[in-house]
Amino acid sequence: MPRNAATREFEHTGDVGIEVVAATREELFAEAIAALGRIMYDADRVEDRERRKLTVFAATDADLMHDALARALNVFLIDAFVWRDANVIAASGGIEAELIGELFDRSRHQLHEELKAVTYHRLAVERTPAGWRAVVIFDA
């Protein structure tokens, strides 16, 4: 189902910042996880062959965003799994995310930017009149 969400990269001197807006909280998390993948590699070339599930709990939505993105980052960095998209559903005290993709294949997948960590600097998740908004800066 098409997602009612968008991501904008903003200028940060040494690193990479994104602002994500979405109609719903679940879409916000799904779009942020999908955006993380798009920054790191050409997600359009990733095929839907396998699913990876992440269950993340945290005390606040900002912590949840940090931890969900950090977990997804390690799915790429440690397990070499790349995703073309993500689905997210709310769980009690957290979220369940499903990454849709396949194992990284250097012959088919093109890498873009190396992101190394999800920072807490200016990290924000908030409700807005139009829906939801998040700001995340990645260490690149």
Partner 1 sequence: MELKQIDEFLWEIPRTGGMRVPGRIYASKRIIDDIRDDPCLEQVANVAHLPGIAGYSLAMPDIHWGYGFPIGGVAATDAEEGVISPGGVGYDINCGVRLLRSNLTYSAIAKRAEALADALFAAIPAGVGSEGAIPALDTTEMRRLARDGADWALRQGYATRADLDHTEENGRLAMADPDAISAEAYARGRRQLGTLGSGNHFLELGRVDQIFLPAEAERLGLGLDTVTVIIHSGSRGLGHQTCDDYLRTIGKAMERYAIKLPDRQLACAPILSPEGQAYLGAMAAAANFAWCNRQMMTHLTRRAFMETLGISERALGMTLVYDVCHNIAKFEDHIVAGRRRRLCVHRKGATRAFAAGHPALPDAVRAIGQPVLIPGDMGRYSYVLIGAAGAMRETFGSTCHGAGRVMSRARAKKEARGRDLIAELRAAGVTIRYQGRATLAEEMPAAYKDVADVVAVMEGAGVSRRVARLKPFAVIKG
The window from 28-36, 42-50, 84-92, 113-121 that contacts partner 1 (CB under 8 A) reads 113-121
Q: How far is the CB of 120 from partner 1 (least distance, A)?
A: 4
Neighbours of 40 (CB within 10 A): 22
Contacts (CB under 8 A) with partner 1, residues 80-109:
none
In the chain, DSSP finds a helix count (H) and a strand count (E) of 2, 8
Question: What string of DSSP letters covers 100-124?
Answer: EEEE--TTTPPB-----EE--TT-E
Site pattern 46..75 for partner 1 (x: CB under 8 A): ---------------------x--x---x-
* Helical packing angle, 25-40 and 61-77, nearest 10°: 30
| C-beta separation of 111 from 40 below 8 A | yes
Of 11 and 44, which has the nearer Cβ to partner 1? 11
Out of 49, 108, 112, 127, name the contact with partner 1 by CB under 8 A: 112
Out of 1, 2, 11, 92, name the contact with partner 1 by CB under 8 A: 11
